[in-house]
Each structure stands twice: as structure tokens, then as C-alpha cells.
Amino acid sequence: MSGTESPERVSFDSEAIPPDARIERYRALYAMGADITQIGPFPRATFEAWRLDRALLYDRHLNDIGHGRGELRAGRDGFTHWTVTLLIDGLLQVDLGDGIRDLKPGEIILVDVSRTGRNMMRDAHIATLAIAQDRIEETIGPLSGFHGLVLDADDCRLYADFVRSLLTNLPTMKTSSLPGATSALCTLLKVALESHGLRDPVVDASRDGRRLGQFRILVDGRLGDPGFDAETAIAESGVSRATLYRLLRPHQGLAAFIQTRRLEQIRRALSNPAEQRPFAEIAIDAGFLTESHASRAFLARYGLRPGGYRAAVATAVAEVDPIEQIRLWQQELR
């Protein structure tokens, strides 16, 4: 995707679908991420989903609809990303296991998608940022302890204003602006957390986030070297072994972090319709010693074999299938 192209968007409007098929079509859209229930007599769903930088921004109008992630789904799909949901108007109820909470317009809630929970919407207008954990932690630092945190409208006013402006301007923006826009969302969320009274923890955490971001840049620059391993990374990072292991504990350790970055490089290559190299060449370029090892690791992380993933990309591009597009975009959040 070049920097002159417009951001990618998926739209859905239940009113354009026969009444007896509306809820099922919406359920199919969310099949990978949530169980959909009808909670009232007049279910309605319209949304636009925008692809940012390892993040998705949803602008949704929902009525009489509930989303749920039970233990079976949370344990099965392997999602590790976070959502930041802003209630613009209407009623949003959230239950993360400690009872139902009603959000007020202007408030936002942070949710770790790897955990169980459910929400219910009635005449609700909500904007949800779904973002890869390591992408947001580069700015804010480790997010542990923030699951279920609700920020008051006064605390997150700057974040909310920027989200509204971004949704208005995304249709005319260029893809080259999306990394900056995503970083701005993270920075304004950090401001909201500090306004909420969490300044000291956020400052300490954001210091870790900067270290993690710098280490990721180091790793990404060496992915093509199959000899680049945990010991080499420690030696070149300038960070103590103890600090590095602490930073990477949420990512299953140093070796797993390096492999994840290699797999992300492969996924990005397979997501590019113009990339015509055979998978074996792409895998070796990412630092894997064998095609078979790369293929097994790719399947374990993304739930599809490389050939299947590449075919799904081709289908989504050729047919503009919103279900397939959402499915592929969600893989970027791992």
C-alpha cells in the first residue's frame, strides 16, 4: 500500500439486508471475535471500520445487540489485543465478571480482549479502538491492571475530541498518515490516564514502553539474520538481561518475541497482493532456517497456513468481502 492511497474501510448497514437475515449477517462479521446476541425487539447495526497501524477504529451505531466473549472463545481464538471504547451517545452496559456497569456518554473503558466479558447496546453510538498490545504499550507501557478501567468524560475529553475529528477526516487522509494518527491516539490515551490520577504508574510504564519500542526496532532490523538470537539481542540492546526479561514477560519471553516479529514480517509480506515471491523465500528473508518451521509457526499464531492466508487476502481484495477483510485485519492485532 503506497502513501498516496486512502485508508481501507469496511462498512455494514443492517437496514440494507432483509430483516430475517440481519442479525445472522452481523453475527458472521463478528464470528472471529465475539458471540452476538439479540437483546431486544429491534436489533440494528451500522458501522464503519477503518484500518490504521496495527489497529482498527470502529464507528458503530448499535441497538438491542450484545457482544460476548466467554471462556471457551477467549481461550480458543488467541486474541491478545486491547480495546478502548468511547461511548458517544446512548446506553452501553459492560460486564467483565464483577457485575453490570452503565457507561455515561463521554466515558471510555479499556478492555483486555484475552479475558472474558460482555456488553449490551441500546441506541448506542460508540467508537472503539482495537489495537495490538505491543503497539499501545510503546507509548503507555505495560497495561496490566488497566483491564476494565473506566475513565471519566472530563479525563478523556482530548482523546474523545480527537477520535471524533479522526472519524470525520479519515476518508480524505492518506495511508502514510495512519502511523502518526495511531500514535496520537495512544498519546492522548496516556494523557487521559494521567488526568485520571494515574500519572506516576503511567510515567514508569511509559518508560518501559519506550525501551520496548527501541528494542523492537533493533529486532526488526536484524530479522533477516538467522543467527540473531536471544543472546545477541541482549548484547546489542544496551539493556540489562533482567530488565529485558521483565519487559518481555508479557510476550512469553525473549525468544518468543523475536519469533513473533519474524512472523509479523511474513504476515505483512503475504498481505501485499504485489508480493509474488514464493513462501520459502519470504520465510528465509525473515530469518527462519526452514520453510516448514516457518509454516508451522505461522499456523500456530494466525490460525491459517501461509498459502491459505495469501489466498484469503486475494479473495478479500478481488471480492471486497467485508467478513474476510475484518478477519484478516484482526490478525494484525496479534
Residue 139, pLDDT score: 84
The predicted-structure confidence for 301-325, as pLDDT tens digits, reads as follows: 888 899 988 887 777 665 556 777 7
Residue 201 burial (C-beta neighbours within 10 Å; 0-12, 13-18, 19+): middle
Q: At 4, is the pLDDT very low, low, confident or very high (cuts 50, 70, 90)? A: very low
Sign of the alpha-carbon torsion through 67, 73, 79, 81:
positive
Domain ranges (residues) in the chain: 9-198, 222-318
Q: Scan for cell 472519524, then name that residue.
A: 167
Query: Residue 208 half-sphere exposure, CB side, CA atoms within 13 Å?
Result: 22
- For the record, the C-alpha cell of 292 comes out as 516448514
The predicted-structure confidence for 76-88, as pLDDT tens digits, reads as follows: 777 889 999 999 9
CB contact set of 296 (below 8 Å; sequence gap of 6+): none
Using left for φ > 0, alpha for ψ between -120 and 50, and beta otherwise, residue 90 falls in left
Topology match between the domains 9-198 and 222-318: no
Return the number of other C-beta atoms located less than 10 Å from residue 100's C-beta: 11
Residue 205, pLDDT score: 56
Question: 9-198: CATH homologous superfamily?
Answer: Jelly Rolls (2.60.120.10)
Residue 316, pLDDT score: 62
CA distance 26 to 46: 9
Q: Which of 25-29, 150-154, 199-203 has the highest mean pLDDT?
A: 150-154
Does pTM top 0.95 for this prediction?
Answer: no
CA distance 326 to 29: 7
The predicted-structure confidence for 216-274, as pLDDT tens digits, reads as follows: 888 888 888 888 888 888 888 888 888 888 888 877 888 888 998 899 899 888 887 77
Q: Scan for cell 498519546, then name that residue.
A: 187
Residue 46 burial (C-beta neighbours within 10 Å; 0-12, 13-18, 19+): middle
Residue 206, pLDDT score: 59
Mean pLDDT of the chain: 87
160-163 CB contacts, 8 Å cutoff, 24+ apart: 160/86, 160/88, 160/106, 160/108, 162/188, 163/57, 163/86, 163/127, 163/129
Helices (H), the chain: 22-29, 71-77, 133-140, 157-169, 178-193, 199-221, 230-237, 241-248, 254-270, 279-285, 291-302, 306-319, 322-331
CA nearest to 80, candidates 147, 132, 149, 144? 132
Topology classification of domain 222-318: Arc Repressor Mutant, subunit A (1.10.10)
